[in-house]
Every structure is written in C-alpha cells, then in structure tokens.
Amino acid sequence: MITSKFKIATFSMALAIGSMTFQSCDSLTKTQKGAGIGAAAGGVLGAIIGKKAGNTAVGAIIGGAVGGTAGGFIGKRMDKQAAEIQNAIPNAEVVREGEGIIVKFDSGILFDFDSANLKAQAKDNVKSLAGSLNEYPNTEIRIIGHTDNKGTETYNMGLSERRAAAVKAYAVSQGVPASRLTTVGKGFSEPIADNSTDAGRAANRRVEVVITANEQLKKEAASQAGG
C-alpha cells in the first residue's frame, strides 16, 4: 500500500508536470524517470512499482535519490546493470525504476519450506548477482526478507531475517564487501499480494535485493552534471 506521504508526493508531482499530461508513463525511459522526478519522486515511483515490491524496497530507492541531471547519470548506470542482471538470472524479477534496481526472488527459488539454508541453485543465483555487484562497486545493497502470514508474527519475522542474512552471507563469500550489504526482515508486514489465496501467499514469500547509488557514485554523478 502506498503511504500517505507517497500520495502527497504524487499529487505534487502531478501539479509540477501538468505540461506532460498527454504523455503516457510508458513512453518515458527509466533514465528519464530518474532525471525528471525531482523532489516529488516518492509518490510517482511508488505508483510505478505498485505491488511489485514492498514499501521498504521502494523507500530505499526514494531515500537514496538525487534527482535532476545527476539522477539521470545514475539511472543510465542502473539501466545497464539491470539488463545484465536479468540476462544472468532469468528466474529473478528485476524491477528497474528511478535511480535504483530491485531484484526479487521467490523464496521457493532460494529456500526449501521453512528453511533459511540456500538451495544449490539458489547459490548459483546469488553468485551471479554477486558478480554484478562486484562489477559495479559504487552501490549499496539492502537485502529484505518477506514471508506470508501463515504462523505467528514473531516466527515469521525471525524466518525473514534469517533468510536475508543467508543471502548476505553467501554474497560476502563471493567477494562482495560486507560493508556494502545491510539486511532486514519484514515478516508478513509488507504483502504484495492477497494472503488469503495460495497464489498470493506464494508471491509474498520473497527476498528483495535493492541496489542504490553510494556516496561516491552520487559525487561522480554530480560532477558529470556540473554540480
């Protein structure tokens, strides 16, 4: 669900881009979105991503955005990296918007039922992702674990934390500096689908990896923009 702050930002953005009323969002490139959103990015980005990712993932991208020409520079970097990740990990969903990337894995791809131990194929997936993270070092990565609503809140929170930590640990073993990686478990607090159905619960059992620019890349972007 988009928060009230996102809704306010959406309204502000609508006022700011009245001249673009007849241009559909689909006609804008991802980089143009990154360059043109500016201060009202939150609401529009939240609306674009919609139910593809939880609020924590969306908030990480919004919170790290710089906007303007510098944001467009970062967006181009993210366009390239996102395309490479999708080619390397075809069974992951890559959400590319604004100045960030969200790589979403269904928990079933990564873990057995009620387990926080990575499957063999999951290790291949995380290894491929780690390769991309190492190739693009000027980014920060947040790993977010989610569950469905079966079981207690306390148990699911712990499971989501352990699964996020397992992804981080394997990424570190593949050479990604631990200082670039943070983890958080959200339990079943951020569903992206209806928990009353089997399909919805399956969609909610996921791990999201959010990639955003670090301070060095932001400075480089500002320099390129002449800031």
Quick one: DSSP state of residue 119? Answer: P
Single pTM value for the model: 0.81
Question: Residue ranges of the domains in the chain?
Answer: 4-224
Residue 187: predicted pLDDT: 97
Q: Which CATH architecture has domain 4-224?
A: 2-Layer Sandwich (3.30)
pLDDT value of residue 29? 52
pLDDT given for residue 36 in this prediction: 45
Q: What is the pLDDT of residue 226?
A: 79
Supply the pLDDT for residue 225.
Answer: 83
**Residue 54 corresponds to which tokens in the numbers above?**
């939880």
pLDDT of the chain along its 227 residues, tens only?
333 333 333 333 333 333 333 344 444 455 444 444 443 445 555 555 667 889 999 999 999 999 999 999 999 999 999 999 999 999 999 999 899 999 999 999 999 989 999 999 999 999 999 999 999 999 999 999 999 999 999 999 999 999 999 999 999 999 999 999 999 999 999 999 999 999 999 999 999 999 999 999 999 999 988 75
Identify the pLDDT of residue 97: 86
Q: Which amino acid is at 87?
A: N
Q: How would you list the strands of the sheet with 100-106, edge to edge?
A: 93-97, 100-106, 206-213, 139-146, 181-185
- Per-residue HEC secondary structure of the chain comes to CCCHHHHHHHHHHHHHCHHHCCCCHHHCCHHHHHHHCHHHHHHHHHHHHHHHCCHHHHHHHHHHCCCHHHHHHHHHHHHHHHHHHHHHCCCCEEEEECCEEEEEEEHHHHECCCCCCECHHHHHHHHHHHHHHHHCCCEEEEEEEECCCCCCHHHHHHHHHHHHHHHHHHHHHCCCCHHHEEEEECCCCCCCCCCCCHHHHHHHCEEEEEEEECHHHHHHHHHHCCC
Phi-psi region of 175 (alpha: psi -120 to 50; beta: other; left: phi over 0): left
